[in-house]
Amino acid sequence: MTSPITPDVAIANLQATALTARCHNAFFRQKQLKVLHDVLRKNTPAIRDALKQDTRVSDAEATTEVALALGNVKEHYGAIDVKKELAAEYRITNGKNASDRREPWGVVYIEPQRSHTPFYSVIVTLSAAVAAGNCVALKLENSLRALPSLLRKLLAEALEADTFAIISSDPSAESLSSCLLVLQETPIDRPTYTQLVSPKSRVVAVVDRTADIALAAEHLVAARFAFGGTSPYAPDVVFVNEFIKKDFLEHVLRHSIRYLSGSSDTIANGAPKSQQSTTKSTSKVSEAFKALQDSKSWRLNTITQGDNGAVVDLTHLSSLPPKSNSPIFAITSITSLEHALSIIDEDLEQSETLLAAYHFGAPSAGKYLSQYINADISFTNYIPYRLLIGPAAPSHQPIDIDARYTTTHFSRAAPAYISPPTSQSALAPIIAGKDSRKPAADLLAHAVAEIKEEKRAESIAIGYFEQGIFVGLGVYGIPLLTCIGASLFFGVRAGLRRWAFS
């Protein structure tokens, strides 16, 4: 049940527990994770039914979400090595430096995303924060959805009340100032070091003429339509070279049929999914479809449309389409890689980045696109399906594809030293000695000594443009030289014959 106390009081109580360092104990963290896993695994059927009732996912997708979330809890439990942590704790006592020592933040405030894989988004964040030794305040708004009500009951049963609280409204800024914030719903352009914010940036894909179009279509269709098309890492637009567009579309239509036509899965109460969610699904697709139709930045051509999504072609594209959480697969033609780059660069602000970029083509094309398309993460010739589950990775942080959050996200560096560094002996005569002139002069003489430049290897780097030049020479230069050589040969031979008979 939700605590009757206010959010500010709940966080104050958690802060008091955090000061006792109770959650730092490895055995306590293991116990918390074990009980959490036990409670969730015993209620797996109810969780799956709640997911299918609240979202437009299939039975297999709901099962996958629950399985990966529970697997993440097990991984955090297995990663806690009590003996290793005890030895690390007493490194200073044993005369060893603890340069990599970290401490929990204390209290973590979690605002999970609601529209996409909501169970996974809560559990992976919660388990990582608990495994790192923190108290947690979880925001679950009062609603008619089934999953939040179920999570209130299960999480309150699993985690100890003085280390965990569920709140239904935003705490004050003053209370949150002492917490580490995980914001998966609220966008913040420039988060501080105490905010782990999931950005709402767009995702693009580029399919070059050198790509394996069957592979590209399979990965991109799955990324766009899986989990109802709500993944933050689903491609918002796919740039396709005009020479392969027709063949690529054939593969896209082949792979998208099962998503567009619906599913025979049933939801919790046994009624066919199509009877209870088709109206909501169609309404959402129609709204996104209308938004694309009304834009003056492109012309919309519908290739195919079903109950659960559509495939569209955006012609005369002058800017990137907006971020979408609807199952609409949008493609547009490009004449070259530079064509795609120009559209993306003109649309993005100077400090703006894409959430992700997917590149399909020769490795050299992937390298070129990854280098010049400003994205938080890029992939060449594949899309990791695990990326499609869960929230967007927090901005300006190392990206964990599988879990999105690690214990490192929920701890801060607190190094401790007992042994002086090697520079100590060099500076001791200067800082603490009586006659510091000569040691300081020697230190300066070493610093001003000329840097010996390493000789660069005499080689020509063959990059993307160089390869194009060589291909052009091969296609046009060799036949031209052959023609010139043949003309000279026959011309000289004819001249010699005329001279011989004259």
List Cβ neighbours of 384 (8 Å cut-off, separation of 6 or more). Answer: 401
Return the structure tokens found at 29: 């963290």
What's the pLDDT score for residue 295?
A: 80
Give the integer Cα–Cα distance in Å for 109 and 232: 21
Give the integer Cα–Cα distance in Å for 390 and 109: 18
Give the integer Cα–Cα distance in Å for 357 and 72: 26
Ranges 22-31, 47-56, 426-435: which has the least confidence? 426-435
Residue 411, number of CB atoms within 10 A of its CB:
20
**Residue scoring higher pLDDT (404 or 4):** 404
- Give the pTM: 0.85
What's the pLDDT score for residue 317?
A: 87
Q: How far apart are the first and last CA of the chain?
A: 115
- Closest by CA to 358, choosing from 339, 334, 376, is 376
Give the integer Cα–Cα distance in Å for 317 and 315: 5
- pLDDT at 64 exceeding the cut of 60: yes
Give per-residue pLDDT as tens, 156-195.
999 999 999 999 999 999 999 999 999 999 988 889 999 9
Could you give the residue ranges of the DSSP H alpha helices within 43-81?
44-54, 59-79
What's the pLDDT score for residue 230?
A: 92
Give the integer Cα–Cα distance in Å for 391 and 229: 13
As a whole number, mean pLDDT of residues 78-82 equals 94
Q: pLDDT category, 502, cuts 50, 70, 90?
A: low
What's the pLDDT score for residue 269?
A: 41
Tokens 């999970």: give the residue: 112
**Residue scoring higher pLDDT (472 or 415):** 415
- Closest by CA to 15, choosing from 178, 143, 232, 130, is 178
- Closest by CA to 106, choosing from 85, 74, 130, 70, is 130
Give the integer Cα–Cα distance in Å for 25 and 99: 20
Give per-residue pLDDT as tens, 349-383.
878 899 999 999 999 999 999 999 999 999 999 99
Give per-residue pLDDT as tens, 452-501.
888 877 665 566 566 667 667 676 777 777 777 777 776 767 766 666 66
What's the pLDDT score for residue 245?
A: 94
What's the pLDDT score for residue 65?
A: 95
Inter-residue contact 52 to 119 (CB < 8 Å)? no
Give the integer Cα–Cα distance in Å for 235 and 370: 16
List Cβ neighbours of 319 (8 Å cut-off, separation of 6 or more). Answer: 297, 298, 343, 346, 347
Q: Which of 207-211, 298-302, 318-322 has the highest mean predicted lDDT (pLDDT)?
A: 207-211
Return the structure tokens found at 72: 């993440």
**Residue scoring higher pLDDT (278 or 432):** 432
> pLDDT averaged over the chain?
87
What's the pLDDT score for residue 436?
A: 82
What's the pLDDT score for residue 462?
A: 62
What's the pLDDT score for residue 264?
A: 44
Partners of residue 205 on adjacent β-strands: 238, 358
Partners of residue 300 on adjacent β-strands: 314
Q: pLDDT category, 294, cuts 50, 70, 90?
A: confident
- pLDDT at 267 exceeding the cut of 50: no
Q: pLDDT category, 274, cuts 50, 70, 90?
A: very low
Partners of residue 358 on adjacent β-strands: 205, 379
Residue 490, number of CB atoms within 10 A of its CB:
10
Give residue 249's identity as a one-letter amino acid code: L
Ranges 13-17, 222-226, 275-279: which has the least confidence? 275-279
Quote the percentage of the chain above a pLDDT of 70.
89
- pLDDT at 26 exceeding the cut of 70: yes
Q: pLDDT category, 425, cuts 50, 70, 90?
A: confident
Could you give the residue ranges of the DSSP H alpha helices within 299-436?
337-347, 363-372, 423-431
Nearest 5°: the CA angle 491, 497, 502 is 125
- pLDDT at 151 exceeding the cut of 70: yes
Q: How many residues does the chain have?
A: 502
Tokens 């800024």: give the residue: 173
Give the integer Cα–Cα distance in Å for 291 and 322: 9
List Cβ neighbours of 297 (8 Å cut-off, separation of 6 or more). Answer: 317, 318, 319, 321
Return the structure tokens found at 350: 């100077």
